[in-house]
Structure 1
Amino acid sequence: MPNKEVTYSISELADEFDITPRTLRHYEELGLLTPRRRGNTRIYSHKDRFRLALTIRGKRLGFSLAEMRELFELYDADHRSRPQLHSMVAMIAEKRASLRQQQEDIERVLAELDAADIKARETLENMKHH
């Protein structure tokens, strides 16, 4: 029994990731996805599906589409290339620092919201007793 590669249509990926086919075509234009073609039909591979998931997650975390493409290009490139590996390590370190700062900011805002919530609830409770 031959091992058949799992593939996806544009509508299957659009539905799965709750995005439009236009978004998928845009990601393809930017070089993030590289579906095969059968006539006018795009045939997406498991690699395309994985990269789409990474792209969507990366966008949520603040990566630009250009940064995602650069990461994919660095990953696909010859892993024995020192300059490219240095670029990838530097980019990851920069994004990690940015995400840690965002995490600290979020934790600070959550603490302020918690304090405001407690104060508002105490004030409401005191109003009940007067």
Structure 2
Amino acid sequence: MSSNNPPRFLSMEDFNRIKSQYSKFNEPWQSSEIEELKNMKADDVPIQAIAQQLQRTPGSIRMKLKSLGLYTPRPAAVPWTEEDENRLVAMYSDGIPFEEMAETIGRSVTAIISRLVRLRMNLFN
């Protein structure tokens, strides 16, 4: 059963944007998807690649792995890589919401905003 109604915390615009990128966003997990998720996790496939393959957000992948007892979060205070910073700046330039940036990069919204400030991005145009 597909849900075309956004969760309460999302605007319809944000819901449609996420749904266009991840077609199974806000839909129940199927047993075949869970098996595929377990197999990819066992093969050390990165969260972002799993998200693309299963058409679900990285946050949804993490939550499902956590519910299955298969998710180990990144340790606190992991240094930012140049690649992470470049992705962050690109997402910010594209107008991606902070929550989605955080989910994609695997950091908190606070960490995202702090890094953007440190990179001297003008957050409040």
| TM-score (structure 2 length as normaliser) | 0.30
Kindly name which structure, 1 or 2, has the bigger radius of gyration based on alpha carbons.
1
Please identify which structure carries the higher strand content. 1
| TM-score (structure 1 length as normaliser) | 0.29
